[in-house]
């Protein structure tokens, strides 16, 4: 209720600021790199799945390297697209009118959920 009342009575909500956390491209890259190196799932996946697609008839090492490079290219393309979409979405969600709409929608949904719980649905 408070979320809905605040959204309807305040003039314009301001987007949250996160200027103190930015450290440029290199800081973001190093954070992502350390996160990925600390997560062994990608390595386990590569070791368990990539050899299944390499035939023993051809050059095994070159085939494995080619599959790894293709996997890295597809992953880099996907994360580039995802990063672009998140940046565009953040620009959209940071607008005061959209923030107000999200707050109103959230308030209405929470009131509806509360009414459903109270009604025993």
CA distance 51 to 74: 18
109, pLDDT greater than 90? yes
CA distance 121 to 76: 46
pLDDT band at 69 (very low <50, low <70, confident <90, very high): very high
- Supply the DSSP symbol for 21: G
Q: What percent of the chain has pLDDT over 70?
A: 83
Answer yes or no: pTM beyond 0.75: no
């Amino acid at each position: 209720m408070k979320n809905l009342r605040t959204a309807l009575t305040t003039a314009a909500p301001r987007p949250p600021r996160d200027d103190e956390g930015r450290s440029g491209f290199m800081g973001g890259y190093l954070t992502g790199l350390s996160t990925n190196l600390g997560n062994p799932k990608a390595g386990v996946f590569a070791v368990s799945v990539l050899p299944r697609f390499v035939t023993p008839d051809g050059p095994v090492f070159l085939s494995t390297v080619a599959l790894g490079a293709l996997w890295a290219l597809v992953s880099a393309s996907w994360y580039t697209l995802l990063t672009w979409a998140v940046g565009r979405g953040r620009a959209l969600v940071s607008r005061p009118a959209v923030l107000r709409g999200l707050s109103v929608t959230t308030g209405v949904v929470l009131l509806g959920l509360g009414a459903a719980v109270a009604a025993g649905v």
